[in-house]
């Protein structure tokens, strides 16, 4: 006998909470990437200025 299909209600509070959790994870990742980029550019500038 075939297994009953898994159904997902997009408006289910648990699904919405999971959506928010993943959104928060992506936001943190973008923040970290941007901060890292700024730090790298800042450090490169210092090294280049010292070099010249």
Residue numbers of the site for other proteins (CB under 8 A)? 1, 3-4, 6-8, 10, 14-15, 17-19, 22-23, 25-26, 28-29, 37, 40-41, 43-44, 47-48, 51
Cβ neighbours around 5 below 10 Å, total: 6
Read off the tokens for 18. Answer: 């999971």
d(CA 19, CA 11): 10
């Amino acid at each position: 006998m075939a297994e009953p299909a898994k159904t997902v209600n997009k408006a289910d509070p648990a699904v919405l909470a999971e959506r928010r959790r993943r959104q928060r994870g992506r936001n943190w990742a973008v923040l970290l990437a941007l901060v890292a980029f700024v730090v790298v550019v800042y450090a490169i500038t210092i090294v280049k200025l010292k070099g010249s």
